[in-house]
Structure 1
Amino acid sequence: MAGSIEAYETMAGPRYRVRYRKPNGASTDKRGFRTKKEARLYLASVEITKAKGEYIDPADSRVHIAHLGKEWLESKTNLKPSSKTSLETSWRVYVEPRWGDTPVGEIKPSHVETWISQLAEGTAVTARSRDRRNTRGPRSATVVLRAVGVLAGILDMAVRDQRIAKNPARGARNLPRKESTKERRYLSDDEVVRLAAQSGPHTTLVLVLAYCGLRWSEAIGLRAQDVNILRRRLHINRAAVEVKGIIELGAPKNWEKRTVPFPAFLQKPLEAALKGKSTDGLVFCSDTGDYLRRAKSDEDAESWFARAVRAAGIRRLTPHDLRHTAASLAIASGANVKAVQRMLGHKSAAMTLDTYADLFDDDLDDVAERLDARAVKADVGKLWARAVS
């Protein structure tokens, strides 16, 4: 039985009800059609979606985002603690306040694009605005993109579960571009030496960060067994990330374990750092042997790093700027982009080029000079003059 159409009377006039069976055999209906033609078209569309295996149960599409959001977050068991914390914060602060009470089947692309504009302008409802905290102010592209990504991920799950036919959060036309306005700092060799000299017991750590390009979490996660003094290699096998005041151990960023060479001048300082430590001992640790906490870098901070920066007469920078410095020094020394990519643990050479495009300007001049030397050798000027004449 394909289904049936029945007429019934209302205060506004005749209406039509469509009765049909779901793929599981259960009977259901939809009412309120103004004409019999509308009812027939709806019944035909139902039968077509059933035949294609694309049927969406109206009851399933009425589930609220609040319910699906919790399911989606619980499914993210493969994420690093820091990544999952970011998603949970975005859900709690931005996504749930706006979409929690919304049935998944009622979300339209235009609704999502309006929300994106409101987030960017700082007018969207948030958990903080409900608590009368931080109620105004535009949100950065990073914050907006993460919030939209959370909503899109939830709706992807709804599509897979056949609650909706298409994800309305994918393909938004007004997503902001992620452009960092923060100045990237690159230190010279002289500045690195001055900073290291003022860093006391953390001198070797500063030099490793500035000449090996490790992330802070990778450096403080290094153990004695990860250092090969004879081959001058650091084996990056883990990252020690501070999440809500707790150090969480996990794989390096991008899940890329790698081996990083260190300059010969670092051999003796690293030997000194390893002296008396077991193979499982931390290379860089606190006075009590625990993981080092990320040093604050504000100009008025009293961390060892901030004090060293001031004592060295260097303009404010962060420990992560030492990673940028390592990239700069490597490129200036003639290292090719593939070698820099492997040292930094980027996913691809393209990512390295995009991140440090400003450092390759000198390479363009070098290319022009090499082409000019080649042309002079081949006497291209005379050949061109002959061709013109």
Structure 2
Amino acid sequence: MGSVHAYDSATGKRYRVLYRKPDHGQGQKRGFKTKRDAELFLASVEVSKAKGEFVDASAARSTVDALGVEWLKNQTHLKPSSFRPVEIAWRLYVRPEWGKRAVGDIRHSQVQAWVSQISADRGATTVLRAYGVLASILDAALEDRRISANPARGVNLPRKTGKKRVYLSHAQVQALADNAKDRGTLIFFLAYTGLRWGEATGLRVRDLDALRRRVVVNENAVNVGGRIIVGTPKSHTARSVPYPAFLSEPLARECEGKDRAALLFGNGVDHVRLPDSRRGWFVGAVVKSQTADKTFERVTVHDLRHTAASLSISAGANVKAVQRMLGHASAAMTLDTYADLFEDDLDDVATALDQARTSASVANLLPNGDIGKRKTP
């Protein structure tokens, strides 16, 4: 238990509370005008200790800057490509606004005002990422008992709107590959395997199994701040992906003159970099395709992954096979991502149910024992 002590100050008699913290260190709070106020505070301290909700006032004075730097150091589980946008959000949005603030002084309404302010000028992805960094830092402060509740939780956040996916037809993929010229094989490969750009450009000659027409995805080459960082695939696990027979010869040509450790695409030494989204060779190929075909929509490199899913489903591949090809964590994720591709299946379900009901009704109308029997001449 703690104790209450009176003392004289320049403004008159005041009371000081002494108490033991959960770590057995001594804490105190001064300046109470009445003994009753001091006793009530001491009682609240004892109750919070008993409930495991005690917050050390000195710990609550820790700044977001100090805790944020430490929090970033602990994000070792993130891949470099995932860590970079988090670090940018911290540096550009969270640190300038909250860095000097003590975590114990941050209020829910202040966080809401900040989110609303940056939402006026930035997209939902940027806002959600910046908010996520602040909320995670305050979660860590909560776990350390620096604050009794996270003031960032429960604020109103902007919603991300789903970006329209573009699916190319077989003919459009052919046109795009033709217009990409020496990059045509890469275009075909992305559109018919569904590999991510970094997975495709990270493939080595040894990853190609020409007999089974498979590639083994072991690496993912991602451009992070101008540097190519090679790591594991997004799912952290290797996977075997089939490719159609028509790609056998073009892929064989990609292997010519290269040893087994060489990169499959490009010169074998340097990773093929993602083309510039405004003036790169891919945009040039898209523009040429649009000139010849007015129905050809503007596509990105990543849309070729969506195209692979669309062409596979149209060809009759089941969801589990598409999931394994794309490297999704589960079939449910594949269904959620490409739910629009299965809309036509709803008509097939209704038709099948109608046919089944009709067959059942006809069977019920036939006399017993007549089903399946032939009449004797």
Could you say whether these structures have the same fold, taking a TM-score greater than 0.5 normalized by the shorter chain as the test?
A: yes
Equivalence for 1:289: 269
Q: d(CA) in 1 for partners of 2:237 and 2:37?
A: 56
> What secondary structure is seen at the aligned counterpart in 2 of 1:378?
helix
> What secondary structure is seen at the aligned counterpart in 2 of 1:249?
strand
Larger radius of gyration: 2
In the alignment, does 2:132 pair up with 1:149? yes
Equivalence for 2:72: 73
1:39: Cα distance to partner? 2.0
1:56: Cα distance to partner? 2.4
In the alignment, does 2:199 pair up with 1:222? no
Question: Structure 2 counterpart of 1:78, which letter?
Answer: H
> What secondary structure is seen at the aligned counterpart in 1 of 2:75?
coil
Q: How does 1:243-258 map to 2 (within 5 A)?
A: 243-258=224-239
Equivalence for 1:116: 115
Native 8 Å contact 1:297 1:316 kept in 2: no
Q: d(CA) in 2 for partners of 1:288 and 1:341?
A: 29
Deviations 1:288-333 (A, max 9, x none): 73111111243xx2x2222222223344211111111111111111
Q: Of the candidates 160, 185, 194, which is equivalent to residue 178 of structure 1?
A: 160
RMSD: 2.2
Equivalence for 2:355: 373
Q: How does 1:1-389 map to 2 (within 5 A)?
A: 2-8=1-7, 15-121=14-120, 137=121, 139-170=122-153, 172-180=154-162, 182-285=163-266, 287=267, 289-298=269-278, 301=279, 303-313=280-290, 314-379=296-361
Q: d(CA) in 2 for partners of 1:27 and 1:378?
A: 82
TM-score by length of 1: 0.86
Q: d(CA) in 2 for partners of 1:322 and 1:372?
A: 37
Native 8 Å contact 2:239 2:324 kept in 1: yes
Q: d(CA) in 2 for partners of 1:179 and 1:144?
A: 13
Question: Structure 1 counterpart of 2:343, which letter?
Answer: D
Question: Structure 2 counterpart of 1:211, which letter?
Answer: Y
Q: d(CA) in 2 for partners of 1:340 and 1:288?
A: 29
Residues 293/46 of structure 1: CA separation in 2 closer, same or farther (3 Å cut):
same
1:114: Cα distance to partner? 2.2
1:31: Cα distance to partner? 2.0
1:14: Cα distance to partner? 5.1
Q: d(CA) in 1 for partners of 2:12 and 2:345?
A: 78
Runs of 4+ in structure 1 over 6 Å off: 380-383
1:262: Cα distance to partner? 1.0
Native 8 Å contact 1:341 1:352 kept in 2: yes
**Structure 2 residues not aligned, in runs of 5+:** 291-295, 366-377
> What secondary structure is seen at the aligned counterpart in 1 of 2:29?
strand
Corresponding pairs, count: 360
Native 8 Å contact 1:297 1:317 kept in 2: no
Native 8 Å contact 1:239 1:252 kept in 2: yes
Question: Structure 2 counterpart of 1:371, which letter?
Answer: L
> What secondary structure is seen at the aligned counterpart in 1 of 2:41?
helix
Q: d(CA) in 1 for partners of 2:326 and 2:268?
A: 30
1:371: Cα distance to partner? 0.9
Q: Percent identity?
A: 54
> What secondary structure is seen at the aligned counterpart in 2 of 1:198?
helix
Q: d(CA) in 2 for partners of 1:230 and 1:288?
A: 22
Question: Structure 2 counterpart of 1:104, which letter?
Answer: V
Q: d(CA) in 2 for partners of 1:140 and 1:203?
A: 34
**Structure 1 residues not aligned, in runs of 5+:** 122-136, 384-389
> What secondary structure is seen at the aligned counterpart in 1 of 2:18?
strand
Q: d(CA) in 2 for partners of 1:230 and 1:322?
A: 25
